[in-house]
Amino acid sequence: MKAVLSVDVAKGKSMVMLSTEYGEILIEPKEIKHNLKDFDELKNQINSFKLEDLTIFMESTGIYHLPVERYFKENDFNTLVINSLTTKNNYDTLRKTKTDTKDCMRLAKLFFVNEVEYHDLSKKDLYANLKALTRQYFYLTQLNVSCKNRYKRLINICFLELEEIFKGSRIYEETALNFIKTFPHAYIVKEKRIDALYNNLYKTNSRHDYYYKRLANKIKEISLNSYLGVDKDHSDVKNLSDMASILQENIKTINELKDKMIETAKESPYFDIINSFYGIGEVLTTELLGELGDITRFDNHKQLIAFCGLDPTIIQSGKSINVHGTISKRGNKYVRWILFNISQMVVKLGHQCPEHPVYNYYLTKKAEGKHYYESLTACSTKILRMLYTMCKNNTTFKIN
């Protein structure tokens, strides 16, 4: 006799119901908290029925389902987690009555009546750990952009001329960050001796000492003629020093995380295959594997494209059907962002590899009058198809 424990997950708690395939309810819908005491009590109650064919069944609910999934898997229960879109598609009705109790019953009905696709979303496997690393990497790099903007604004207030000393991206390098953290205002530099400035620059990045002596003299000379919007006792001077410290730590953490990501991704059998694709470096390969997981789990490339939200929408009005609408954007937004970056990279490097099929595809789309972004989106879909075929057939990228 088949039985299912349907779990409607919420933040810190769940509604559970145990029922059989014949409609018999063994445990009435009840609420449990996500703690060891409630989990153990539920397990003992389930075990008292001595069921031979039991499944724990729940939706993937952000991060909230993870404690429930982990507990039952560690206690050797057959545990299935499905995409919440599956239940939405099966239970979109005109009646919008929705309670936790009804959701439990609907999950149980879905398990017994419908054949649903599910994926093992265990946090212990390679791709789940890699996804956790890549999501943290995305978050920190986005945070770093905000920090850099704030840091640049404070430099304009406290020592504008430093942008001429440390040009372009050099203003974010360790030498500049360490100097600005110690001397965040032109008047502070004005009061220091040349050797103090030189020592700060030299100890950070030991290039030829003559270079740093010349640089220290130049900064000192500029500071003597500088007139800023705030004096050296203003709060923004301390803010600039703090932002330089924050950027140093962020950049260090991001670099360590990047190394860990790549090291983890290299355990995947598809790393070398994806990395062989012209235009995809180690970081982009790692990000793709983190978001896509085992790419071969999809039955065909259309499923993969839909997973990424790159499938076209179909719009029908009377006899008119448009099957080439805009992309659905219902899938993984991170993958779309990664693929867009890859497409841009391939187009930029196109003159170095004019035989690249994606670059030629881009030129074809542009010749058809497509917009730049529309052409890159089309290239993203082509890249996905190529990567799927390469991973399925275990072949590396080759120019015909």
CA distance 37 to 22: 30
Nearest to 134 by CA among 7, 290, 319, 20: 290
Exposed/middle/buried for residue 9 (C-beta within 10 Å: 0-12, 13-18, 19+): buried
Strands 315-317 and 78-82, how do they pair? unpaired
What pLDDT, on the 0 to 100 scale, is given for residue 398? Answer: 85
- What is residue 123's predicted lDDT score, i.e. its pLDDT? 40
pLDDT band at 90 (very low <50, low <70, confident <90, very high): low
Residue 328: count other Cβ atoms within 10 Å of its Cβ: 15
- DSSP tally for the chain: helices H, then strands E: 17, 7
User: Same domain for 243 and 143?
Assistant: yes
Q: Who wins on pLDDT, 97 or 45?
A: 45
- Residue 3 — pLDDT band, cuts 50, 70, 90? very high
Query: Within a domain: residue 118?
Result: no
Asked whether residue 124 is assigned to any structural domain, the reply reads no
Please report whether residue 122 resides in a domain: no
CB 190, CB 161: distance < 8 Å:
no
Q: Which domain holds residue 342?
A: 271-393
State the CATH number of the domain containing residue 255.
Answer: 1.10.287
Least confident of 80-84, 261-265, 290-294: 80-84
Based on the fold, state whether residues 105 and 194 are members of the same structural domain.
no
* Number of compact structural domains in the chain: 3
Question: pLDDT value at position 228?
Answer: 87
At which residue do the structure tokens 């057959």 appear? 78
140 and 253 share a domain?
yes
pLDDT at 190 over 70: yes
Mean pLDDT within 328-350: 89
Do 275 and 379 fall into the same domain? yes
310 has a pLDDT exceeding 70 = yes
Q: What is the pLDDT of residue 88?
A: 57
Task: Say if 209 falls within a structural domain.
Answer: yes
User: What is the rounded CA–CA span in Å between residue 152 and residue 155?
Assistant: 5
In terms of domains, do 316 and 213 share one?
no
Residue at 36 is within a domain: yes
Handedness of CA 317, 322, 323, 325 (dihedral sign): negative
Instruction: Give the position of tokens 């020093």.
Output: 241
Domain annotation covers residue 119: no
Does residue 322 form part of some domain?
yes
Q: What does pTM read for this prediction?
A: 0.72
Taking all residues of the chain, what is their mean pLDDT, rounded to a whole number? 87
Region of residue 200 (phi > 0: left; psi between -120 and 50: alpha; otherwise: beta):
alpha
Residues 6+ apart with CB under 8 A from 287: 134, 137, 138, 261, 334, 338
Token pair, residue 216, equals: 């220290």
Q: How confident is the model at residue 210 (pLDDT cuts 50, 70, 90)?
A: confident
The residue written with tokens 């609408």 in the block is 325
On whether the CB atoms of residues 262 and 281 are closer than 8 A, the answer is no
Q: How confident is the model at residue 149 (pLDDT cuts 50, 70, 90)?
A: very high
Helix (H/G/I), strand (E/B), else coil: 175? helix
For residue 308, being part of any structural domain is answered with yes
Whole-number Å distance between alpha carbons of 394 and 386: 12
- Between CA 10 and CA 62 the distance in angstroms is 10
Q: What is the pLDDT of residue 330?
A: 77
Residue 176 has pLDDT above 60, yes or no: yes
Regarding whether 276 and 231 lie in a shared domain, the answer is: no
Q: Are residues 300 and 208 in the same domain?
A: no
pLDDT bucket at 223, cuts 50 / 70 / 90: very high
118-144 confidence digits (pLDDT tens): 444 444 478 888 998 999 999 999 999
Indicate the SS3 state at residue 330: coil
Pair (232, 135) in one structural domain = yes
Q: pLDDT, tens digit, for every residue of 248-262?
A: 999 999 999 999 999
